[in-house]
Amino acid sequence: MDIGAQEHVASRGTVGILGAGRVGTAIARLAIAAGYLVKVATSKPAADNELIIEIVTPGAVAVDAAEAAASDLVVVAIPLHRYKTLDAGALSGRVVIDAMNYWAATDGDIADFENTNLSSSEVVSAYLDGSRVVKSFNHIGYHEMEPDAAEPGTPDRRALAIAGDDDLAKELVAGFIDTLGFDSVDAGELAAGNSFEPGTDIFNGRFNAAELANALQRSLAAA
Ligand SMILES: NC(=O)c1ccc[n+]([C@@H]2O[C@H](COP(=O)([O-])OP(=O)(O)OC[C@H]3O[C@@H](n4cnc5c(N)ncnc54)[C@H](OP(=O)(O)O)[C@@H]3O)[C@@H](O)[C@H]2O)c1
């Protein structure tokens, strides 16, 4: 790596990714391409993941979950039924992107998400007490992330919704999303995350920023 490239990485900061599955690795590759220093972890020790990370996300570093959690920005991309295996203490104070969805078909019926009007990210946020949780990346398929990424200003650029209770955290996440190749539209507080959960029009579609803003407005008006 030349010095210019190192400065580029330093200027972007570190992104920790919890989950080295379909979503975690797609976001990792986009973040590496955008110039972030990317640290990927699973629930297993870093050494167990080194080879696969080198192959699937070249340029990323395999780390333990605690090290990934200490990044400037943390993406959580694990099966939602595993959310209580996250270390809430390690993530306290961190800006955390919740990319997870509740799918009873794969997660099983989980009372935490079934018997509530809360959005799934509010439930996660209550567990990650102290984290600055922003919901996003959940309504784009892992296989669409790299093909749909585009430079800022590209006509019809795909947009991702963000929801969260912390405006500064949302600003940081919007910047991250932009550098990865997408516009973002602020849906509002974390409670508004339910307007782009599985089963919604937004979850099932592909939108540019103007279309997504309209779809969010329709969804909030209907709520
Ligand atoms: N598939 C999609 O297109 C898509 C799109 C958007 C959002 N989502 C959502 O994103 C989440 C992940 O989906 P996926 O398809 O990427 O899942 P996946 O391919 O099954 O990968 C899950 C990853 O999470 C890791 N993991 C589990 N518990 C962990 C923990 N406590 N800390 C760190 N890593 C942990 C697993 O590794 P170990 O078990 O070895 O720890 C595995 O690497 C789900 O909630 C899903 O609904 C999926």
Q: Is the CB of 85 under 6 A from ligand 1?
A: yes
pLDDT category of residue 198 using cuts at 50, 70 and 90? very high
Q: Is the CB of 69 under 6 A from ligand 1?
A: no
pLDDT value for 107: 87
CA 201 / ligand 1 centre spacing (Å): 23
The yes-or-no verdict on residue 223 having pLDDT over 90 is: no
State how far the Cα of 13 lies from the Cα of 136, in Å rounded to an integer.
Answer: 19
State how far the Cα of 205 lies from the Cα of 71, in Å rounded to an integer.
Answer: 31
pLDDT value for 6: 44
pLDDT value for 106: 85
Share of the chain above pLDDT 70, in %: 95
pLDDT tens-digit map of 75-126: 999 999 999 999 999 999 999 999 999 988 888 899 999 989 999 999 999 9
Across the chain, mean pLDDT equals 94
Axis crossing angle, helix 22-33 with helix 167-180, rounded to the nearest 10: 80
Average pLDDT over residues 34-43: 98
pLDDT value for 222: 85
Share of the chain above pLDDT 90, in %: 90
pLDDT tens-digit map of 145-196: 999 999 999 999 999 999 999 999 999 999 999 999 999 999 999 999 999 9
Q: Is the CB of 138 under 6 A from ligand 1?
A: yes
State how far the Cα of 162 lies from the Cα of 177, in Å rounded to an integer.
Answer: 10
State how far the Cα of 92 lies from the Cα of 115, in Å rounded to an integer.
Answer: 26
Question: What is the full DSSP assignment across 57-107?
Answer: STT-EE--HHHHHTSSEEEE-S-GGGGGGS-HHHHTTSEEEE-----HHHH
Strands 61-62 and 132-135: unpaired
Taking CA atoms only, the protein residue closest to ligand 1 atom 43 is: 20
Phi/psi for 166 (5° steps) reads: -120, 110
CB 219 within 8 A of CB 161: no
CA 80 / ligand 1 centre spacing (Å): 8
Average pLDDT over residues 197-220: 96
Taking CA atoms only, the protein residue closest to ligand 1 atom 41 is: 43
Q: Is the CB of 45 under 6 A from ligand 1?
A: no
pLDDT value for 4: 44
pTM attached to this predicted model: 0.95
Q: What is the DSSP letter of 132?
A: E
pLDDT category of residue 41 using cuts at 50, 70 and 90? very high
216 alpha-carbon distance from chain centroid:
19
Q: In DSSP terms, which residues pair with 74 in a beta bridge?
A: 16, 96
Half-sphere exposure of 19 (CA within 13 A, CB side): 22
State how far the Cα of 80 lies from the Cα of 127, in Å rounded to an integer.
Answer: 12
CB 78 within 8 A of CB 19: yes
What lies within 8 Å, CB to CB, of 150 at 6+ separation is 157, 158, 181, 182
CA 16 / ligand 1 centre spacing (Å): 14
